[in-house]
Amino acid sequence: MRVLRINDWTGPPGGTESYLRSVGRALEAEGHPQKTVSITDAPSVSEYRPEPWEEVLPLARMGPGRLAEDLGAEPPGLLRLRRVVEEFHPDLVHVHHFDSWFVPLARLLSKLSVPTVLTAHDAKLVCPIATLVLPDGRLCEGRILPRCQFTGCHVGLGIPYKLAQDRVFRRRVAPRVKLFIAPSRAAAQFLERHGFGPTQVLAPFIDAPSSVETAPPALPNGEPTIGFLGRLETYKGPFSLLEAFAKARARVPGLRLILAGRGSAEPALRARARALGPETAQAVEFPGWVNGEEKERFFRRIHLLAVPSDGYENFGLVGLEAFVRGRPALGSHLGGIPDWLEDGKQGRLLPPGDVAAWSEAIVESFADRKRMEEWGRRGRERYVALFRPAAHVRGLLDAYHRVLDGPGK
């Protein structure tokens, strides 16, 4: 099976790009030739070192050039993309983002005689800012409409641009997509609610080093510590976590909180920690982004991971990062989080934004270390059973075969 992947990104490569590389290596090892074409901006091109089966095409920087390319002008790299298609002869095209060059890409896809599959890595198909969270913290029902210009959301290039993109996708691309792949049940239901289907749930994975997979999943000694790892944005729930942590400290001596990550909410979080009193402020750490050995030190220090999102979560991959290391989790009962976290088995599912419930769950968790250790062991077992790369690749190949062999191919 020959698979052509089309992706785009701006800025530094992120989680989707890491995922594509892992999947690419796995498919090559399985004997399935594939090609990944990424459309990206100039800084990313200079920093990125492609695999032999990757092609990176330059995207004009933001401004008139970028708008012209997206809205139909002939991008310089489009000729190369056409040649890749002609030379590679794919059996199937898998689109991972539909953003850059959306009009030229729609034209290209409409001329191909092979089926198309699309993975919804985020909510961009139904939300111009991809979060489905309004500025006041309420969840949005989704759909890209003129009203989005008046909600206070930061729509970037503006709602006319997003409306054009939505119109092109719905009219010219979506009818050609034979399967929409979603990382969680909630994401699949959301796609179907907005007219995108058929869908298939295919959980993501993490490609953990063998040394991490085989390390004893024992909780650390030392001060009781909760960890948060992600973007420090309001919809990720760090404020409600901070409030719950402050309430729980009175009942859990020495309790500490590590808020790892960066984001626009960081200054306000630091200010709120100080406002809660000097002892609370001293017990909260802001180490910034942690990667490599810094990430391992983060997980070695924490007893419990918190995923307190107040807004839509497509999945919540950080939970798997904790599970493979034997750390239990507290997570919001929201979006895709229940797909990996079972209440009472690997931790607790809690109402989003409910400070009292989160505070009580923190206290109860640290009151029973043996139960937390059992949660951690079950988390490791759940990761091994469901969220290793091999399971995802098997599911992906099954999906491809159904698309290629099914009716209406």
Pick the CATH number of 3-205+389-405 from 3.40.50.980, 3.30.70.20, 3.40.50.2000, 3.30.43.10: 3.40.50.2000
Measured CA to CA, the distance from residue 345 to residue 342 in angstroms comes to 5
Q: Does domain 210-386 have CATH number 3.40.50.2000?
A: yes
- Tell me how far CA of residue 399 lies from CA of 94, 202, 395, 396, 407, in angstroms: 11, 9, 6, 5, 13
Q: Which amino acid is at 289?
A: W
Residues of the chain with CATH 3.40.50.2000: 3-205+389-405, 210-386
DSSP letter at 139 equals B
Which residues in 289-356 belong to E strands, given as ranges?
Answer: 304-307, 329-332, 347-350
CA 242 remoteness from chain centre: 23
Q: What is the pLDDT along the chain (409 residues), one digit of tens a residue?
A: 999 999 988 776 777 888 888 888 889 888 999 899 998 876 656 667 888 899 888 887 667 787 888 888 888 888 999 999 999 999 999 999 998 899 999 999 999 999 999 999 888 899 988 888 888 778 888 999 998 888 888 886 688 889 999 999 999 999 999 999 999 999 999 999 999 999 999 999 988 888 899 888 899 999 999 999 998 988 899 999 999 999 999 999 999 999 999 988 999 999 999 999 999 999 999 999 998 899 999 999 999 999 999 888 889 889 999 999 999 999 999 989 999 999 999 999 999 999 999 999 999 999 999 999 999 999 999 999 999 988 999 999 999 999 999 765 4
Q: What three-state secondary structure class fits 221?
A: coil
The residue assigned the tokens 């497509």 is: 314
Residue 284 neighbours by CB under 8 Å, 6+ apart: 242, 245, 256, 257, 258, 259, 273
Pick from 329, 311, 139: which is nearest to 229 by CA? 329
DSSP string computed for 8-31: EE-SS--HHHHHHHHHHHHHHHTT
Pick from 227, 208, 185, 247: which is nearest to 330 by CA? 227
DSSP string computed for 337-358: GGGT--BTTTEEEE-TT-HHHH
pTM tops 0.75 = yes
Q: Which amino acid is at 234?
A: T
Measured CA to CA, the distance from residue 85 to residue 97 in angstroms comes to 18
Measured CA to CA, the distance from residue 63 to residue 156 in angstroms comes to 12
